[in-house]
Structure 1
Amino acid sequence: MDGQKQSYYINIQSNEIFTGPYEGEWDYKIEATDSQVNFLERLFNRMDESDWESYFRSHIPYLEYHHQPKNREYDQRMLWIYSMLYDLGDEETRSHIRKMGILNVDSH
């Protein structure tokens, strides 16, 4: 069953993955295997951890954003997520991500 793809619906703000379009608000539709979705869930979980770490660090005024390794990790994970969504997404998803301009889609 792991190699078989099915449709999933992704809410990027809440880091939620739905199996049906009516389960909640979603931004992107993808076709993915179980293992691909599990990997995406792990990335989302790490994003949640990074969000909290960034929140606490943001209260220390002398720490600049771009010098913090955790912030670079957060940015890299976001790129991985969007890259994965682009690779697995339907045409509407890919078109939207291309318009965002955050990926070098020529390399995909």
Structure 2
Amino acid sequence: MDKKSYYIAVGASGIMESQGDAAYEFEIVATEEDILKLRELFEEREDADQEGYVHAHVPWMYTYDGPNDKNDYYLSQVYGMLHELGTEETRKHIEKMNVLPQADE
């Protein structure tokens, strides 16, 4: 499959093909299949984030951090994939952020 440049806004779960479409943090070079996987990770992270929002409003569940743990897991998977597909600048920036998945994840 052909690879092309994409511009990623992690907070907004944005994947853009043109630099000027919106603000972005990272540039990657990926296939359409890679982008489908990245979209799935964004969706899983958003689902976990919604679950965490509900969880935060139920006082008797306060000590259970499952939704937050899931959100952290998927966010680290997103950063791992961006690191793998990223330009040299993207990889260096992500490494400095110290957000890459641990070996046991």
Residue 89 (structure 1) aligns with: 86
**In 2, Cα distance between equivalents of 1:94 and 1:4:** 21
**In 1, Cα distance between equivalents of 2:69 and 2:92:** 26
What stretches of structure 1 of length at least 5 have no aligned partner?
none
Query: What's the offset of the Cα at 1:56?
Result: 0.8
Task: Give CA deviations for 1:13-33 in whole Å, capped at 9, x if unaligned.
Answer: 100100010011100000000
What stretches of structure 2 of length at least 5 have no aligned partner?
none
Return the TM-score normalized by structure 1. 0.86
Query: What's the offset of the Cα at 1:78?
Result: 0.9
- RMSD of the TM alignment (CA)? 1.9
Query: What's the offset of the Cα at 1:104?
Result: 6.4
Aligned residues: 103
* Identity %, equivalent residues: 32
**In 1, Cα distance between equivalents of 2:10 and 2:27:** 11
Equivalent position to 1:59, from 57, 60, 66: 57
Instruction: State the AA in 2 paired with 1:31.
Output: V
Quick check: 2:5–2:30 contact (8 Å CA) kept in 1?
yes
**In 2, Cα distance between equivalents of 1:84 and 1:77:** 10
Instruction: State the AA in 1 paired with 2:79.
Output: Y
